[in-house]
């Protein structure tokens, strides 16, 4: 499945319904709900594609109770994350070949320089350089303006730096997708954009959407 198609499905099945609900109820950006819906989307999509999917036990228990019980009975412990927030794994029994098909990292509230807290987008983004998956996805929350959290412009600059590392490395057939979700209550603004990065570090922006028009 192409990452462009993954982005379009995520836009239609998760982002648009969640933004619509938040606008209808006039509520703040709820990172817990966004995490649950995002992990749930990628969990179900990975299973549909026939992969083993690893993520936290809460997500698995809510979406796939039978899978939760089977995992717990087999391994005598609940499901858990492996390397990243969520990944798709595969194993070809006939050849013994094993690989990671997709690695996903989420970071909703990265801290800008001089901001509060210890959270930082850099660690999650650069982890996608190290995890050897064919498809690597970063979903990044940011603000419309530079406040205590990272702005959209700064987030895009971070990805440009990331592309520089890919250009000088050896990433074979890997491909990357970064989704930017920026929100600013004071400006009544909610925007989404995305960038694809190929194994040579070349980037191309995918169509975004300014959700202010849902008002």
List the structure tokens of 8. Answer: 């379009």
Asked if 174 and 199 touch (Cβ cutoff 8 Å), the reply is yes
Alpha helices in the chain (DSSP H): 3-10, 16-25, 31-48, 57-63, 65-75, 121-130, 152-168
Asked if 121 and 140 touch (Cβ cutoff 8 Å), the reply is yes
Domain boundaries, the chain: 3-209
pLDDT value of residue 117: 39
3-state secondary structure of 10: helix
List the structure tokens of 122. Answer: 């850099």
Which residue reads 């194994």 in tokens? 199
pLDDT value of residue 139: 92
Q: Which tens digit of pLDDT belongs to each residue from 146-169? A: 555 667 777 888 899 999 999 999
Cα distance between residue 180 and residue 191, in whole Å? 8
pLDDT value of residue 99: 92
Instruction: Give me the residues of the chain with pLDDT under 50, please.
Output: 26-27, 112-119, 213-215
pLDDT value of residue 121: 63
Nearest 5°: phi and psi at 194? -155, 155
Q: Which of 89, 92, 83, 91 is nearest to 101 (CA)?
A: 89
Q: Which tens digit of pLDDT belongs to each residue from 191-208? A: 788 999 999 999 999 988
Cα distance between residue 15 and residue 152, in whole Å? 17
* Residue partners of 158: CB distance under 8 A and separation at least 6: 121, 122, 125, 150
Asked if 167 and 175 touch (Cβ cutoff 8 Å), the reply is no
List the structure tokens of 182. Answer: 């920026």
pLDDT value of residue 140: 87
Q: How many CB atoms lie within 10 A of CB 174?
A: 20
């Amino acid at each position: 499945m192409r990452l462009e198609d993954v982005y379009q499905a995520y836009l239609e099945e998760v982002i648009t319904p969640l933004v619509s609900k938040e606008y209808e109820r006039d509520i703040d950006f709820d990172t817990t709900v966004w995490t649950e819906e995002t992990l749930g989307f990628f969990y179900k999509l990975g299973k549909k594609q026939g992969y083993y999917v690893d993520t936290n036990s809460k997500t698995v228990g809510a979406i796939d109770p039978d899978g939760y019980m089977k995992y717990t009975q087999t391994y005598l412990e609940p499901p858990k994350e492996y390397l990243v927030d969520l990944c798709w794994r595969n194993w070809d029994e006939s050849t013994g070949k094993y690989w990671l098909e997709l690695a996903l990292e989420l970071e909703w509230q990265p801290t800008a320089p001089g901001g509060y807290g210890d959270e930082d987008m850099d660690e999650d983004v650069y982890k996608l350089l190290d995890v050897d998956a064919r498809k690597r996805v970063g979903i990044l929350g940011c603000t419309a303006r530079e406040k205590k959290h990272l702005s959209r412009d700064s987030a895009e600059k971070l990805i440009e730096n990331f592309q520089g590392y890919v250009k000088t490395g050896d990433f074979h057939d890997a491909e990357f997708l970064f989704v930017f979700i920026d929100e600013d209550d004071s400006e009544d603004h909610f925007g989404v954009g995305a960038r694809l990065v190929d194994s040579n570090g070349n980037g191309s922006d995918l169509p975004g959407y300014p959700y202010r028009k849902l008002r």
